Amino acid sequence: MGSKDGKQNVTKDSFEEARVYWKFKSKFEGKSESEISASDKYDYKMWLRAKEGIEKTNSNTQETEFLKLMSEVFREGDSVIRADLKKKFTHVKI
């Protein structure tokens, strides 16, 4: 799946993961494998994989947002330091 030009292709389809996670969340959340009946083990393991994927996606999103914020803070700090020093420095000169 993606755009006509191929520049915005979907690299991971998370819809199925989310569907499985929410379908079984109320049934399995907070339970250990020993509490799950034999007939539900397959669904439980599938739910655990979906849960792991959802949590990883959320973690990556939060980390990305944090890094964007920090990048902006560093740029602002850099411009303040440059203005204060009234010189341009590069990593090579330092």
**Residues in contact with 51: Cβ distance below 8 Å, sequence separation at least 6, in sequence order:** 21, 25
Determine, yes or no, domain membership for 33: yes
The pTM score is: 0.51
Which residue did the predictor score with more confidence, 4 or 56? 56
The pLDDT score that the predictor gives to residue 54 is: 84
Any alpha helices (H) in the chain, and if so which ranges? 15-28, 41-85
Q: Does residue 50 lie in a domain region?
A: yes
79 assigned to some structural domain: no
Residue 37 has pLDDT above 90, yes or no: yes
pLDDT value at 24 more than 80: yes
Q: With respect to residue 41, please indicate whether it lies within any of the assigned structural domains.
A: yes
Q: Is residue 53 part of a domain?
A: yes
Is 10 part of any domain? no
Residues of the domain holding 33: 15-69
In a domain, 39, yes or no: yes
Question: Based on the structure, what is the number of domains in the chain?
Answer: 1
